[in-house]
Chains A and B, each alone.
Chain A
């Protein structure tokens, strides 16, 4: 195993897939000469040349439209969004074209593209640059939505995403780019639609993805001091969702807390809570409790940013609630 950051792991995944398959190419703002706004695409222009690493104008709908068109004719584009906040400009291409054509053409047209970039809050970048929009994309049939929480998951999942024949929304997290972890040195993939137990426990199931996994693991450490063993389940892919692993865990622990960085209102955690109540009703000893962002635009002030986001102590409180403690 090699220890590397998530930034390096993502870079490796693209490099390996671009080496393996000439139809894979990269486009986006500053991905080439500047080597990526967050340096994820470092060295790729030098290695693969400007036909396969394309700098684009600041025009997200155009980036998405070019990627969709290229995918329709058989290429495998990786479209980088500088952040997913800007992908809102590209929603029509994603929702009405990328997600729909395979269905509307009776399977004749596929859209094997990846749209990737950071999502969620960073540090004081305020309301327009801190949004966790996974619930928007997970809502759309025809899309695959992936959100890794470790370097290993990031690499294994991005390689699978590039090879997948469906449009994949691959949402990274700026705060996690420097997170270090072990990554296998040999060729490996992590299948899309497979959840993972990030920490085993018997008293409560905490479902979390992306940065919230880190928050939840910190909460699990705090809970362990009180003798509460939390199991942290990371779906990794929000669509399709590996609900069986979540159900297995809840049937064991009888309690479920869902932690997400997005807003509560119609947030993805509600989807999980709904499936758990439907499938594990007789196994539940308490209602499913959600820990989410505050239902406001992200404030700029640091103290308010901290209050807005799920923190370990709020996860601990939620666990106490479902344990009736």
Chain B
């Protein structure tokens, strides 16, 4: 049966080794996928590390207080009867030197080869840490999460219809893919017009009000704990300041109608904002950066997190390399990610690694608001509604479309003038949207 190596995950962009603060499971404890195994101290914060396989925590190789490099085998999850001796023997063998010729083919104890098809190879800038659930490094999720669980019927339908099961989100128990999941499958990259219109106003539809009983103490979910911890850390650590601009959206409104008419694709204003931010970020790398204490890292890729409201909080799926994607590609991707975020079907690699975040409350007809920076990013854009307002044009007053956006910046990295310049570029791109295509 499946043996899962528990490998020290890269939990911060600059992390090279970690200290096991504590194991939350003991040897012999049963473990489910997603259970928190240990708390790891990185160079930045204490992070929870989740189990990527189910079974029993058979062996702890690095006890609490111990230090290990990224990728080191620190424990083993397996079924009670599985023989883990070979794995442990390999782990205790001296670290293999690159050129050392060993007569016996001992499996390398250090990280399994990364074979994640969806996740881009981690660039120097890749980092984790979003207000989501506990962080799991993408490569590990893809290589060690084990087989795809699907009902026999779902498998036979998938085989007949040529549906890759690995691309389908399962809605059954334990994420099992069942009939309705494969029947509803539509590849997100499929060509052709998009049949369903996106939710009006924004990329993320309005979630119905949850009914919460008054006068009670409610348990705090892991997601909420993560939100509380990370956003408090951000707000109390990063000196925030705010710059607001109003953007003339007449051109964007016309562009959106044109895309609908010509391409039969309904993009949202938020999609246009994402594209504008992505383009602007390539020109202002200091806004696409992280404060590292004694240095500042500017990131090599522009990956934009999109805050999505979900029943128990929010999560920020990531549009990777948004600067290199078309508006229509961004729109489809956001729709897919937001839908699966609400169904809790995002893979970990889909919500970690953003370098900038956009949060939009336009669908609630909010004029403007301020957002808390999503660490370790340096800025977040809070987007209000596109509103029809009286505007002064020459000596006349006419109706026009306006939208207010507010950039929250970490003053350790971004100064006021830089924030203003960046916003001016975002405004320029949205006011002359042809620029989004060049």
Contacts and interface: CB of A to CB of B under 8 A. Distances in A.
Interface of A: 254, 281-286, 324
Contacts of B152: 281-285
Contacts of B156: 282-283
Nearest to A324: B172
B154 interface: yes
Contacts of A281: 152
A284 B156 CA distance: 10
Lowest 9 A-B CB distances belong to which pairs? A285-B153, A282-B156, A285-B179, A285-B151, A281-B152, A282-B152, A284-B152, A324-B172, A254-B153
5 contacts: A282-B152, A282-B156, A283-B153, A283-B156, A286-B151
Contacts of A282: 152-153, 155-156
Nearest to A287: B151
Main secondary structure, interface of A, reads loop
A254 B151 CA distance: 10
B392 to A, nearest CB: 57
B171 interface: yes
Given A254-B179, A283-B153, 20 more contacts: A254-B153, A281-B152, A282-B152, A282-B153, A282-B155, A282-B156, A283-B152, A283-B156, A284-B151, A284-B153, A285-B151, A285-B152, A285-B153, A285-B178, A285-B179, A286-B151, A286-B172, A286-B178, A324-B173, A324-B178
Contacts of A324: 171-173, 178, 180
Interface string B171-188: 111000011100000000
A284 B157 CA distance: 11
Interface in B362-407: none
Contacts of B172: 286, 324
Contacts of A286: 151, 172, 178
Interface string B129-153: 0000000000000000000000111
A286 B150 CA distance: 9
Contacts of B154: 285
A324 B150 CA distance: 13
- Residue of B156, B173, B178 most packed against chain A (CB within 10 A): B178
A285 B180 CA distance: 9
B391 to A, nearest CB: 51
B169 to A, nearest CB: 13
A283 to B, nearest CB: 6
A43 B416 CA distance: 105
Contacts of B151: 284-286
Name which of A254, A281, A284, A285 has the most chain B CB atoms within 10 A of its CB: A285
Contacts of A284: 151-153
B407 to A, nearest CB: 44
Nearest to B171: A324
A134 B327 CA distance: 67
Nearest to B179: A285
Contacts of A285: 151-154, 178-179
A81 to B, nearest CB: 42
A285 B171 CA distance: 12
A282 B153 CA distance: 5
B291 to A, nearest CB: 46
A46 to B, nearest CB: 59
A282 B171 CA distance: 19
A283 B155 CA distance: 9
Contacts of B155: 282
Nearest to A254: B153
A45 to B, nearest CB: 57
A324 B180 CA distance: 10
- Count chain A CB atoms within 10 A of each CB in B151, B171, B180 and give the residue with the most: B151
Nearest to B155: A282
B153 to A, nearest CB: 4
Most buried by A among B154, B155, B173, B179: B179
Contacts of B178: 285-286, 324
Contacts of B153: 254, 282-285
A267 B264 CA distance: 59
A283 B178 CA distance: 11
A234 B153 CA distance: 24
A285 B156 CA distance: 10
Nearest to A282: B156
Interface in B181-210: none
B191 to A, nearest CB: 30
Which of B153, B156, B171, B178 counts the most chain A CB atoms within 10 A?
B153
A282 B180 CA distance: 15
A208 B171 CA distance: 29
A86 B180 CA distance: 49
A203 to B, nearest CB: 11
A254 B180 CA distance: 12
B235 to A, nearest CB: 40
A12 B151 CA distance: 49
